[in-house]
Chains A and B, each alone.
Chain A
């Protein structure tokens, strides 16, 4: 069954083509029947949610880690907003007067639009205080687009008192 052109066909080639054709088909059948009896590789999601571990570098969603005192590290410098290519991040700051009478800029709302983010990681890399990271949550589907616009700093949170800012060493892998 080699489907040769009419001018190339001779009787012996015709007979031979029966055998080569059938042999090639049988080889193909052997591969599939072998696969039929092997264990299947499908992941049983969502039944395996309890044991599912994502790779920790996976970029699922941008979050601002808060510690147990409800404090974050964002100084509202706005460098992430400047580096973001498409305006996903809006850093809204407000001025606060401290006890000494000095005014300083603190973070009011850190707005992040999950629907627009391209997960390019520029915000995380350029943040000088390591205030934002990508978490591995991947179940982000919602029913209305407005729910994708998130505010990353929590209610009543404040800036953690200043620790010495780490220089980004070239050998460190940024988390």
Chain B
């Protein structure tokens, strides 16, 4: 049975919509059971919740659930409408997928839709006293409504939930997040080791962590709303600033999404150049992740060594792309300029250089008895939790979750190169740490295969001066350095999208901090955060 037959079997009222991705309109009351059936289906289980996209369709508010099978070959969009625009409510799926907890809080924050039976309905990014819901089409951006608050407001510890008891009656309950006698310590937002501006409130029992509460939104810039006002070429530079360590790869995702929508055929040279730049970005990102985990644990020398080697990649980027971190290289239809004549030689020299350094890194840090004692067995993440929370990338693969999109859904030139997917089963911080170093070796291998075989051809395909995407919904997932980065565009035929959504890999990484940190010591919190390696601007967008 294909997906349409299955859904009409479970939910006869579902209406199918035509498009690149199978999409169905589902009534709100049936969505929870439908998701459960799809997730647990024997033939093609849709185990992975890609994202939860809050939508304002003009007349009604609603949510689109984007589910995917685990080989990532089939995905489906389930559209749910909330009937009442004043008080929109939709059943929650947070008991089916762990990541839905944060996704639904994000939708509530930006659109005002509340989820029934969600355990913790607080706003995720904006402060609870913010007036208005930014992603709604009738949002008033007037500064007078939300003036800059010059006094400090303490975060409220009251958590509201709306529950339904099955017969349709809805009630609101409030509970406290932390009990009065709990010893709550703030880690962040200004802290040398939280990899960005992130606030954890940690409830401690001596040295043991009992609970962690996240407080996000310090770097929330409203990128998705900004993109609704930009044309497609103008919004490319924003993707560089999401997860800035995988700047290339994020921009690649958006360009691929637009190019697939326009059905542009890319020349082979563009594919290979983009793949090489992606792999260089991945190496740079993993080097920084390695350097930062060493620094968080006190080995500052290792940090400087990682940065010194990363400088070589920065030089390669600067020579070809013009920028070191914000490389600004991919455009719709290709790349901005052809690779510099020195590019090939520099990459070859770099491959030789880094291959000599990686054994030194293992000598310096990996084999060290102190490092092993601090990383092994800390922060265990099981495979089921990884799937449920959407933890992909090297952290997910350290728990046995095989999720490398370069293997499953190859894009650019990944189908033409040979490389291994690095999977470990232990699921602790040491496995996550080792995954990164092994992935650097794999990326060097990919670069070696490509650097001498760059096909001749155009580096950019001509596009119209004003790019209008045909009407419809488009989605693209790529393998960024930290996990699966996704782009969803809903276009109404304009030169700007009607709705653009970025699926951020780091939100999943930070969402499991609570569950893996319980029972560990507070000194290990930093090691766990370092091994997960999240980047806060990607979380907050």
Contacts and interface: CB of A to CB of B under 8 A. Distances in A.
| Contact between A and B in the complex (any CB pair below 8 Å) | yes
Interface of A: 1-3, 20-21, 24-25, 27-28, 30-32, 35, 41, 55, 57-59, 83, 85, 118-122, 125-126, 134, 170-171, 173-174
Contacts of A57: 318-322, 337, 340
B305 A27 contact: no
Nearest to B334: A170
A25 B369 contact: yes
B255 to A, nearest CB: 14
Contact of B323 (A2, A27, A119): A119
B462 A170 contact: yes
A59 B323 CA distance: 7
Given A27-B363, A83-B233, A32 B301 contact: yes
Contact of A173 (B328, B337, B367): B337
A83 B234 CA distance: 7
Contacts of B458: 170-171
Contacts of B461: 170
A175 B326 CA distance: 19
Contacts of B234: 83, 85, 120, 122
A31 B360 contact: yes
B326 A173 contact: no
Counting from the closest, the 9 A-B pairs by CB-CB distance are A120-B237, A3-B373, A57-B322, A85-B234, A21-B369, A173-B337, A31-B364, A55-B319, A24-B367
B386 to A, nearest CB: 25
Given A85-B234, A122-B233, A24 B322 contact: no
27 contacts: A1-B369, A1-B373, A2-B373, A3-B369, A3-B373, A21-B369, A24-B369, A25-B370, A27-B363, A27-B364, A27-B368, A28-B365, A30-B363, A32-B364, A58-B322, A59-B323, A83-B234, A85-B230, A119-B326, A120-B236, A121-B322, A121-B336, A122-B237, A134-B322, A171-B458, A173-B337, A174-B337
B355 interface: no
Contacts of B368: 24-25, 27-28
A120 B360 contact: no
B459 interface: yes
Interface residues of B, number: 40
A43 B315 CA distance: 13
B237 A27 contact: no
A30 B373 CA distance: 20
A126 B331 CA distance: 13
Contact of A28 (B230, B363, B460): B363
Most buried by B among A3, A120, A171: A120
Given A55-B318, A55-B322, A122-B234, 13 more contacts: A2-B373, A3-B373, A24-B369, A31-B360, A57-B319, A57-B321, A125-B331, A125-B336, A134-B322, A170-B459, A170-B462, A171-B459, A174-B337
Contacts of A122: 233-234, 237
B213 interface: no
A119 B311 CA distance: 21
B193 to A, nearest CB: 21
Contact of A120 (B308, B328, B363): B328
A30 B359 CA distance: 13
A2 B372 contact: yes
B338 interface: yes
A24 B323 CA distance: 40
A147 to B, nearest CB: 23
A25 B233 CA distance: 52
A120 B237 CA distance: 6
B88 to A, nearest CB: 32
Contacts of B237: 85, 118, 120, 122
A35 B305 contact: yes
Nearest to A136: B322
Interface string B219-239: 000000000001001111100
A81 to B, nearest CB: 12
B430 to A, nearest CB: 13
A21 B462 CA distance: 61
Interface string B324-344: 001010010000111010000
B206 to A, nearest CB: 19
Contacts of A121: 322, 328, 336
Contacts of A21: 369
A55 B314 CA distance: 12
Contact of A20 (B233, B236, B369): B369
Interface in B264-312: 301, 305, 308, 311
Contacts of A31: 360, 363-364
Contacts of B322: 55, 57-59, 121, 134
A62 to B, nearest CB: 13
B521 to A, nearest CB: 13
Nearest to A124: B336
A2 B369 contact: yes
B307 to A, nearest CB: 10
Nearest to B267: A170
B323 A41 contact: no
B319 A170 contact: no
Contacts of A3: 369, 373
A141 to B, nearest CB: 17
Contact of B367 (A28, A32, A125, A174): A28
Contacts of B235: 85
Nearest to B340: A57
Contacts of A85: 230, 234-235, 237
A2 B367 CA distance: 11
Contacts of A58: 318, 322-323
Contacts of A171: 338, 458-459
A43 B340 CA distance: 23
A149 B326 CA distance: 23
A21 B368 CA distance: 8
A24 B331 CA distance: 48
A17 to B, nearest CB: 8
A28 B337 contact: no
A134 B230 CA distance: 23
B361 to A, nearest CB: 9
Nearest to B372: A2
Contacts of A170: 458-462
Nearest to B324: A58
A20 B369 CA distance: 8
